[in-house]
A = this chain, B = another copy of it.
């Protein structure tokens, strides 16, 4: 599929197979597998939007690359980080937005109201910014119960107070029954980036240590456990939380962290692939080091999912200069939201743009960018 190969090469969202062939790392990668890698669907030729376009994987990237980026132009958008970094009145600000269409509205450990705050607050935190102000736009479906709306609004307000962010402005639209799904929420947030902090994938260098702040896959499994048709008892609650405090703790050790990302849609795999692609380094993970709670592993086994691709809403992954890694890890573990932080891998000069995992049996597998989300409407 040469057309797809070109697409990816042009956009830099994924390494082209030929580049890999040119820089083989025989001990790690089995060349035949790599060369056989191809995209399972002709993404560019999708005539209509499919669910996967909202999944945070390759299809989402295609949409940005082929529709939004050319139409909007602009240098800031081209950064494609969790948040944009902009300058205004002499202040360096992080600015980010997310819409929330999670189903159901309430789930173990949270609600769409919690997500609407923490999703955007965390995007800002990944720039090192403490969220200061949020906007909040509701799209309500005619007929939604006022009591449900009130519960969501209360959850949103409480989450904002916990995160230390103020809801400063809002908007409400109502659409006819059958043109929504109860409540959709968009939030946008702004926050100040501290002096000396410059977090972006381009700063990643081989040798950087990859740290994850805790067990992965929890949010996604919590949602799946209550999704209609899938109900199963896990006792797992979403990890939905605001990460600004944890990031502050890390930056207090050194402002010289290289990049932070919160692995939401598409999970840890999508976050690491985006960083690898944008930084031009490779990433090697020790599969055994990746913390997966037994209940998540069991649920994923039953559902045929890979925890690496399951969404998180209260975790971050950090690329830290080797000399600071130990101190940053210790600081993270001193914070409630980083108590189970651990090193899971490192940035390498081999296989630029690609993420691989060393398996427990001594083998190596490619952890590629997901096409879409395994389960739609996870956030």
The chain A residues found within 8 Å of chain B, CB to CB, are 46-55, 60, 63-64, 67-68, 71-77, 83-84, 86, 88-93, 95-101, 132-133, 135-147, 149-150, 153-154, 156-157, 160-161, 166-176, 178-181, 184, 186, 188, 190-192, 376-377
A88: which of B157, B174, B192 is its contact (CB, 8 Å)? B192
Given contacts A171-B97, A175-B101, contact A49 B133 (CB under 8 A): no
Cα distance A173–B175 in the bound complex, in angstroms:
17
B98 touches A53 (CB 8 A): no
Instruction: Indicate the member of A51, A73, A97, A171 with the most B CB atoms within 10 Å.
Output: A171
Inter-chain contacts of A99 with B (CB < 8 A) = 137-139, 171-173, 186
Is the Cβ of B53 less than 8 Å from the Cβ of A376? no
A132 contacts which chain B residues (CB < 8 A)? 86, 88
- Within 8 Å CB of A135, what residues of B? 84, 95-97, 188
Report how far A101 CA is from B142 CA in the complex, Å: 13
Is the pair B171, A71 in contact by a Cβ cutoff of 8 Å? Answer: no
- B77 x A168 contact (CB < 8 A): yes
Q: Is the Cβ of B153 less than 8 Å from the Cβ of A71?
A: yes
**Inter-chain contact B91/A88, CB cutoff 8 Å:** yes
Q: A54-B173, A168-B84 are in contact. Are A160 and B72 (CB under 8 A)?
A: yes
Known A47-B146, A73-B157, A139-B184: A97·B176 in contact at CB below 8 Å: no
A157 to B64, CA, bound (A): 13
The smallest C-beta distance from A247 to any residue of chain B, in angstroms, reads 18
* Known contacts A86-B133, A168-B77; is-contact A154 B188 (Cβ 8 Å): no
Is A170 in contact with B77, judged by CB distance below 8 angstroms?
Answer: yes
Shortest beta-carbon distance from A105 to chain B in Å:
13
Given A153-B68, A186-B99, also A48-B143 (CB < 8 A): yes
Supposing A76-B169, A86-B132, A88-B132 touch, asked if A146 and B95 sit within 8 A by C-beta, the answer is no
Query: Given the interface contacts A98-B171, A101-B139, A171-B99, does A89 sit within 8 Å of B92 by beta carbon?
Result: yes
Q: Which residues of B contact A97 (CB under 8 A)?
A: 135-137, 169-171, 186, 188
User: Once the chains bind, are B88 and A49 in contact (CB under 8 Å)?
Assistant: no
Q: Contacts A90-B89, A157-B71, A168-B77 known; A174 to B139 CB distance under 8 Å?
A: no
A-B contact pairs, 17 of them (CB 8 A): A48-B142, A51-B142, A63-B172, A64-B172, A73-B161, A84-B133, A86-B190, A88-B190, A89-B93, A89-B192, A91-B91, A98-B137, A98-B171, A99-B139, A175-B377, A179-B180, A186-B186
A168–chain B nearest beta-carbon distance, Å: 4
Q: Which of B67, B77, B137, B192 contacts A167 (CB 8 A)?
A: B77
- CB pair B188–A71 under 8 Å, yes or no, is no
In the assembled complex, the Cα of A169 lies from the Cα of B139 at a distance in Å of: 20
Instruction: A181 to B64: give the CA distance in the assembly, Å.
Output: 21
Pick the contact of A169: B55, B91, B96, B153 (CB < 8 A): B96
CB-CB under 8 A from A91, the residues of chain B are 88-91
Chain B residues lying within 8 Å of A101, measured Cβ to Cβ, are: 139, 173, 175
A168 contacts which of B52, B71, B86, B90 (Cβ < 8 Å)?
A: B86
